[in-house]
Amino acid sequence: MPTGGTHLVEQWPFGNEGWHKHMIYFDKVDIGKNVFISPSARIQGVNGKGKSIKIGDNCFIGERVVIMCDEFEIGDYGKIHHDTNIHGKSSCKIGHNFWCGQFTIIDATGKVTIGNNVGIGAHSQLWTHIKYGDTLAGCKWNKTKPLTLMDDVWIVGHCIVSPITAHPKSMALVGSVVTKDMEENQVYAGVPAKKSGMVQFEDVSNEDRVSRMSSLIMEFAKVYFNEGHSSEVWNYLKLTDVITDDHLKDGASYFNPVTRTYTKKGTDIERDFMKFLLPEKAKF
């Protein structure tokens, strides 16, 4: 997660501000830097113009993606792949480093809250309501509830998820049907999904995190710089155990691998490094 607030500027990477406003139909539009939105995407409120939309820096929204929510927000480095459908009269708020596979459905009839570093595999369906039967004739199946996926949740492909709370680091294996809350760092599988006895995350010492992160920086440097100048990376990407105000003012990007935070500067090398890390090497 970035430290020091979100850096947003008025930049329209689509080449035409009028075309952009036609495609994104909201009263309040806040788009970050280096955002790619496919021309075939449809982004608006449920019944026309929505209230507000906020898209963080370095996001990707693919072909034929439909976002129809009155309030929508996604943080930095979000990826929503083609033919995904996010719809509903309530709000959908998504954190940083979101990854969503193709042909996914996220229903926001009830409030949807998705934390940082969450992944949803292709062809998954996330629902917040059950309704269709005639209530006048006595149908009792008519409910709407919020759906919450907390930080580091992973919903693997082809899953169906009811309006539950998935606690941090929980995971649903491929093809699971999740009808109950998922406990922290527990892995679920089956129809209906049950705890498997496995965990998604193992304990990693602070020293090991620092060592791994140092290796990742040098691995990136060999790609970004010529082999003989790879040590120059330390002028731009630095490790720290405490992020201070001085770090926020410095031109370099400082990463704390223990707290998983960094000083967001928006430089080209920082952006390329973050893309190098995502989705599976490290998330900040």
pLDDT in tens, 123-164: 999 999 999 999 999 999 999 999 999 999 999 999 999 999
- The Cα 56–Cα 50 span in angstroms is 18
Give me the pLDDT at residue 20, please. 52
- Ranges of residues in the chain with a pLDDT under 70 are 3-22, 227-228
Give me the pLDDT at residue 21, please. 52
Give me the pLDDT at residue 230, please. 86
- The Cα 94–Cα 261 span in angstroms is 18
Give me the pLDDT at residue 16, please. 42
Closest among 112, 95, 102, 108 to 81, alpha carbons compared: 102
pLDDT in tens, 12-54: 444 444 445 557 889 999 999 999 999 899 999 999 899 999 9
- The Cα 229–Cα 14 span in angstroms is 35
Give me the pLDDT at residue 231, please. 87
Q: Give how far Cα 166 sits from Cα of 90, 100, 112, 176, Å.
A: 19, 16, 12, 14
Give me the pLDDT at residue 17, please. 47
